[in-house]
Chain A
Amino acid sequence: MAAKPKLYYFDGRGRMESIRWLLAAAGVEFEEEFFETREQYEKLQKDGRLLFGQVPLVEIDGMALTQTRAILSYLAAKYNLYGKDLKERVRIDMYTDGTLDLMTMIMGGVFKPLAEKEETLASVVKSAKTRYFPVFEKILKDHGEDFLVGNKFSWADIQLLEAILMVEELDASVLSDFPLLKAFKTRISNIPTIKKFLQPGSQRKPPPDSHYVALVRKILQF
């Protein structure tokens, strides 16, 4: 039996959270090692498993994979969540790149000084309402199907749900003008693997708080 994938990161969302979502949605069990000290992190760098000296790191199938998107693409393909052909794949790539951009803005925002952070997060909500969510609402409207691409559950659906939930944490009313996205959110949340991941006790991480920010600053020294 193959070893479980092992994730190396901080005990929090950051760039690893999308990877956790994808593995969980695919029903894949995974292990995690969390950095608590700078020394642990430096040891990993010295071991030579971090190609560019950075995390996330996922050990899977005999590889030490870094770079979030490289990891996500590999997992999506491996677990058949990447469409049936090149044309479906490029659509999934377009959609996930967009949602990842949106979530990355939130990730970066929490590390800024308070006034700037609030401005950034407000701008994310605005971007979600005016740029990103209208696009996905239209996609669902145009084909009338349950999933974003190819009438089949894919990485694009998982990532959109993750992004919706993250933005709702900033503004609970953000889906008020998007009825299809509301229905989508309910539908995808009820998929058994995802439903399980959304329950307390799963490996899903809570929103970043000041403790998380301080921990990351300490370990990455910035």
Chain B
Amino acid sequence: MFQQVPMVEIDGMELVQTRAILNYFASKHNLYGKDLKERALIDMYVEGMADLNDMVVVFPGHPPEEKDAKLALIREKTINRYFPAFEKVLKSHGQDYLVGNRLSRADIQLVELIYHLEELDPSLTANFPLLKALKTRISNLPTVKKFLQPGSQRKPLLTAEAIAEARKAFRF
């Protein structure tokens, strides 16, 4: 629609805009909380995750001389801003899931993010026991477990080469 991807064809529609697509799937498959207030909490959490994830996915595309500084920034934000916020949420209610004592997109997206971050620096979760436990718990859900195995449709993080190709194709 806006000359961009991702684009997903589903239910007779051509959907663009990552958030719109994620919102649609989460609603359709009951992963968006039970009411408006739970949805607001989930939205708040996943928007924060998106901010951090944006930094992570572009990281491989930085020129070598900028990489150290960018990685330091990702580490700093993860350890000082984002992980403490989510650890605190889990601690505050002591439940297995971030919102409403039930699996939601927030749990899935947080665990996805944790995996990405650990690829850049495995020590990031060291001081966040509840996040580590969430990661284990979510990874053991049958559908997630299957997705984490080789041969699934899960993709690796973009390499510098892939980003260079994308730059050429999309002209940015």
Contacts and interface: CB of A to CB of B under 8 A. Distances in A.
Interface of A: 51-53, 61, 63, 65-71, 73-74, 77-78, 86-87, 89-90, 93-94, 97-98, 101, 131-132, 135
A69 B45 CA distance: 11
B43 A74 contact: yes
B48 A69 contact: no
Given A52-B48, A65-B44, A71-B40, 8 more contacts: A63-B40, A73-B43, A86-B28, A90-B15, A90-B20, A93-B17, A93-B19, A131-B2
A131 to B, nearest CB: 6
B159 interface: no
B140 interface: no
A98 B44 contact: no
Interface of A: prevailing SS: helix
Nearest to A127: B2
Nearest to A74: B40
Contacts of B39: 73-74, 77
A141 to B, nearest CB: 14
A67 to B, nearest CB: 4
B16 A70 contact: no
Contacts of B168: none
B169 interface: no
Contacts of A66: 44
Contact of A90 (B3, B24, B44, B47): B24
Nearest to B51: A52
Given A52-B81, A93-B24, A69 B36 contact: no
Contact of A65 (B1, B11, B19, B40): B40
Contacts of B28: 86
Given A63-B37, A97-B19, A52 B27 contact: no
Nearest to A66: B44
B44 A67 contact: yes
Contacts of A70: 40, 43-44, 47
B78 to A, nearest CB: 12
B85 interface: yes
A51 B23 contact: no
Contacts of A90: 13, 15, 20-21, 23-24
A87 B12 CA distance: 10
B27 A86 contact: yes
Top 3 A-B residue pairs of the complex, sorted by shortest distance between their CB atoms: A70-B43, A93-B20, A67-B47
Contacts of B36: 74, 77-78
15 contacts: A61-B37, A67-B47, A73-B23, A74-B36, A74-B43, A77-B39, A87-B13, A89-B23, A90-B13, A90-B23, A93-B17, A93-B20, A97-B19, A131-B2, A132-B2
A108 B24 CA distance: 28
Given A77-B36, A86-B27, A89-B27, A94 B43 contact: no
B127 to A, nearest CB: 18
A70 B48 CA distance: 10
B43 A67 contact: yes
